[in-house]
Amino acid sequence: MLSFSEQFSECVVAGIPFVFLIDFEQKKPLLYTFDEAARRDIYFDIKGVTNAPKRELSSKPTFTKTTPVSKKNYAKAFDYVKHHINRGDSFLLNLTFPSGVESQHSLLDFFYASRAPYKFYKKDDFVIYSPECFIKIEEDTIYSYPMKGTIDAGLPEAEKQLTNNLKEQYEHNTIVDLLRNDLSQIAKNVRLNRFRYLEKIKGTHGELYQSSSEIQGTLAHNWQKNSGELIHKLLPAGSVSGAPKNKTLELIRAAEGSERGYYTGVFGIYDGKRLESGVNIRYIEQRHGKYHYRSGGGITHLSTLDEEYEELIHKIYVPFI
């Protein structure tokens, strides 16, 4: 039986379109043709390329109640992380928690109503409406778009606040360096094309600015033969783990207390010629009939408890345009 990486590479070489989903721990990867995924009630929409049937909604889904992780529980994990950062065990760690959310709408309603470049739905399990690209590959060129830094767009001089915030600068710089190093494992001529550009997204509770960068590299001409292994070498995504990656992953497991599963993993499509993928953030999961929204942010030596806890809450939204 072929491994996931072997199956991935075989489909790419053969030019067979497929959709893939990889969990954060890389224990439960999935790969289906577009039609097979639809038969399993797995839908995707990546920049307009979709296998989902058309559907009209009479109203936009909302959260009727949000119950964030308690500040006490968050503070315990935050203090643990800051202790190890101050010891030099990590420079940046993405700390996340689930918060309870209630809604009269289904996960499928959120899939159709949300506006995001990377959307994914798995029946009775979770829905993703992610703004963040993991990687894309066109011909022999690979691109990555690390996203770090958000702020409420309604704040006075929000763009200036985000741009000049030392903690956000440090966090973004660290992730850009990490992603450049990650891409350098599999590509040549890795370079930074755009640095810390801002984009605005509209959600249920107002607008946010988010900060991203663009990194580019050149793959070997026969990259298709090893495409599954190339993806494996880049995982987990640096923007939702931290640096240095291996030690930081140990600290994440200890601080969060449980596996993330598909949250902060990656999903994407290969259309027969190009590969496009997103990071599994902005994520609602269904457990025992209840909804949980997973969110968090990067912790550095400059982080404060109140600011990081508020960022976790601000990211609980549904994007509408």
In 3D space, the residue among 278, 283, 277, 310 whose CA is nearest the CA of residue 295 turns out to be 283
Q: What are residue 205's DSSP bridge partners?
A: none
CATH number for the domain that contains residue 91: 3.60.120.10
Find all residues with CB under 8 Å of 91, minimum gap 6, and list them.
Answer: 85, 174, 242, 243, 244, 300, 301
Would residue 320 count as lying in a domain? Answer: no
**In this structure, how many other beta carbons lie within 10 angstroms of the beta carbon of residue 104?**
10
- Counting the structural domains of the chain, the total is 1
Work out whether the CA dihedral 71, 77, 81, 83 comes out positive or negative.
Answer: positive
- Residue-wise pLDDT for 54-71, tens only, equals 988 878 888 999 999 999
Would residue 110 count as lying in a domain? Answer: yes
Would residue 46 count as lying in a domain? Answer: yes
**pLDDT digit of tens for each residue in the chain (321 aa)?**
889 999 999 999 999 999 999 999 999 999 999 999 999 999 999 999 999 999 888 788 889 999 999 999 999 999 999 999 999 999 999 999 999 999 999 999 999 999 899 999 999 999 999 999 999 999 999 999 987 777 677 777 777 877 787 877 888 888 889 999 999 999 999 999 988 887 777 655 567 777 888 999 999 999 999 999 999 999 999 999 999 999 999 999 999 999 999 999 999 999 999 999 999 999 999 999 999 999 999 999 999 999 999 999 988 988 874
Would residue 158 count as lying in a domain? Answer: yes
Would residue 288 count as lying in a domain? Answer: yes
Would residue 319 count as lying in a domain? Answer: no
- Residue-wise pLDDT for 130-151, tens only, equals 999 999 999 999 999 987 777 6
Beta strands 206-218 and 188-203, pairing class = antiparallel
Domain holding 109, by residue range, is 4-314
In 3D space, the residue among 263, 154, 147, 128 whose CA is nearest the CA of residue 207 turns out to be 154
Would residue 113 count as lying in a domain? Answer: yes
Would residue 221 count as lying in a domain? Answer: yes
Q: Report the SS3 class of residue 282.
A: coil
pTM of this prediction exceeds 0.75: yes
